[in-house]
Amino acid sequence: MKGDISHRLLKEAEKIEVEEATLKEKIWMELKKTFVVAAPATFTRFSTFGVAVISQAFIGHIGPVELAAYSLCFTCLLRFGNGVLLGMASALETLCGQAFGAKQYHMLGIYLQRSWIVLFMSACCLLPLYIFTNPLFIALGQDEKIAQACGYISHWFIFIVFSFIISFTCQMFLQAQSKNMIIAYLAAFSIGIHIFLSWLLTMKLEFGLAGALFSTVLAYWLPNVGQILFVTCGGCKDTWKGFSMLAFKDLCPIVKLSISSGVMLCLELWYNTILVLLTGNLKNAEVAIDALAICLNINGWEMMISLGFLAAASVRVSNELGRGNAKGAKFSIIMTTLTSLCIGFVLFLVFLCLRGRLAYIFTTSEEVAEAVADLSPLLASSILVNSVQPVLSGVAVGAGWQRVVAWVNIASYYLVGIPIGVVLGYVWNMHVKGVWIGMLLGTLLQTIVLVVITWRTDWDKQVILARTRLNKWFVPESREDNQNVAA
């Protein structure tokens, strides 16, 4: 009883302190809280994205068949597994963020273990895709040599898929506590080791594809070892109380939330894949795909910044909802969105001015450079839209709206964006430009719908919903300690 009274008094003192601060002080406090999450998250995503790029660069020196197979496996298989598991892990982001805000610290460790179980089962369901890659690609009409190389590479990718279980869940767990600087340090260490090992094994010792893939697998697993040690060996004393049998309790609600999260994210990732597939069927497809690949590569690097702000929005909203602070949640949404939009607007102007000159970083072809210059306004517009859309997706994750956003994605992307892209690209002969315009309109529609939903949301009601969810799955710390199976 005394503990409850002290807890309430502490929360009231925090609210009064925040309310008495000036607007300038509130903005500064919110920016600091945002960048504590966004900066390490952005750097980590740059590093992870860089691992794949470095691997591709070294494999490109081995041979064209190996490069084509790696690119195909990475685009079609690894991104698919990444999307499914990352999406499902975002359910943990919702629960950990809200529980941390509500000061239910010991529950974070239980949610983490439950997420490990759910993601492990999901990864096992994905295994046939990686085991039978060779016959699958041959059945789809792929060249036999490339399909055979894909079959070999996909077996290595199984280790990477299972690395996502630890990687994504520990990231969500640590981000909810604003302790993700350790993730950035580990990512930097990992990419440094990866560059050295890739050079040593492929160029110096000439182990070929096996050497490059071994270095890639190691680069994905090294940060996991560091994260697990940090979590279990004293880095999170309040939130990690040891392994518990309670991790096997209440799995069904976690599975439902995880599936909604997975569907939400996969629908977004597949949207960009469909853009590439549609382009491949246009006239002069080689130039179109080269130009599009350059634009999507640039867009992909910029997207890492937006994903950093997605993480920040999710953490800040979930923390404030868990804390019971509806005003704080609304203020964090406004500040995170405006900050990301300002960065996006600057990049919009940069890429609009540079136009085709950027293409010469990737190609010497004048024809491809001209195609990139033609697509530059669309690239710049995509960057501007993408500075807002991921932040709103982060808000949805923080509030637990994954199912709602999944339906919004289906309507915006697959009922509006793709059909318009097909009509403009094929019927009106606007080619890749038409396809991209259609896809961009779908993303813009999704962003507008999410803005309306966020604006019209009763955040006081969301606080009640968050508290109801947390109380439903809450386990008293004394009971949790009794069911620990290891310290």
Q: Specify the higher pLDDT residue, 365 or 191.
A: 191
Give me the pLDDT at residue 363, please. Answer: 65
Position 268 in a domain: yes
User: Quick one: average pLDDT of 333-360?
Assistant: 88
Position 141 in a domain: yes
Q: pLDDT band for 2, please (50, 70, 90 cuts).
A: very low
Q: Is the pLDDT of residue 487 over 80?
A: no
Residue 315: give the domain boundaries. Answer: 22-486
Q: pLDDT band for 337, please (50, 70, 90 cuts).
A: very high
Q: Is the pLDDT of residue 4 over 50?
A: no
User: Quick one: average pLDDT of 136-164?
Assistant: 89
Question: From CA 11, how far away is CA 24, in angstroms rounded?
Answer: 22
Question: From CA 282, how far away is CA 427, in angstroms rounded?
Answer: 11
Q: Specify the higher pLDDT residue, 451 or 7.
A: 451
Cα torsion through 331, 334, 335, 338, rounded to 10: -170
Instruction: Report phi then psi at 243, rounded to 5.
Output: -70, 140
Q: pLDDT band for 9, please (50, 70, 90 cuts).
A: very low
Q: pLDDT band for 285, please (50, 70, 90 cuts).
A: low
User: Quick one: average pLDDT of 6-27?
Assistant: 60
* Percentages of the chain per state (helix, strand, coil), in multiples of 5: 85, 0, 10
What are the start-end ranges of the H helices in 102-207?
105-131, 133-139, 144-175, 181-198
Q: Specify the higher pLDDT residue, 233 or 261.
A: 233
User: Quick one: average pLDDT of 141-156?
Assistant: 87
User: Quick one: average pLDDT of 296-316?
Assistant: 85
Cα torsion through 481, 482, 485, 487, rounded to 10: 30
* Digit-coded pLDDT (tens) for 379-396: 899 889 988 988 998 999
Report how many domains make up the chain.
1
Give me the pLDDT at residue 375, please. Answer: 84
Position 7 in a domain: no
The rounded percent of the chain whose pLDDT value lies above 70 is 88
Q: What is the mean pLDDT of the chain?
A: 84
User: Quick one: average pLDDT of 427-437?
Assistant: 84
Nearest to 55 by CA among 222, 165, 221, 214: 214
Position 400 in a domain: yes
Position 10 in a domain: no
Question: From CA 111, how far away is CA 210, in angstroms rounded?
Answer: 37
Give the number of residues written for the chain.
487
Give me the pLDDT at residue 68, please. Answer: 78
Query: How many CA atoms, within 13 angstroms, populate the side-chain half-sphere of residue 467?
Result: 11
Cα 449 to chain center, whole Å?
21
Is residue 244 within 8 A of residue 477, CB to CB? The reply is: no
Q: pLDDT band for 485, please (50, 70, 90 cuts).
A: very low
CA dihedral sign, ordered 408, 309, 93, 223: positive
User: Quick one: average pLDDT of 331-338?
Assistant: 94
Q: What letter does residue 410 receive in the DSSP assignment?
A: I
Position 17 in a domain: no
Question: From CA 317, how far away is CA 309, in angstroms rounded?
Answer: 12
Cα 349 to chain center, whole Å?
25
User: Quick one: average pLDDT of 136-146?
Assistant: 82
Residue 448: count other Cβ atoms within 10 Å of its Cβ.
15
Q: What angle do CA 273, 307, 400 make, to 5 degrees?
A: 95
Q: pLDDT band for 289, please (50, 70, 90 cuts).
A: low
Residues pairing with 243 in the sheet: 486
CA dihedral sign, ordered 95, 273, 390, 368: positive
User: Quick one: average pLDDT of 38-63?
Assistant: 86
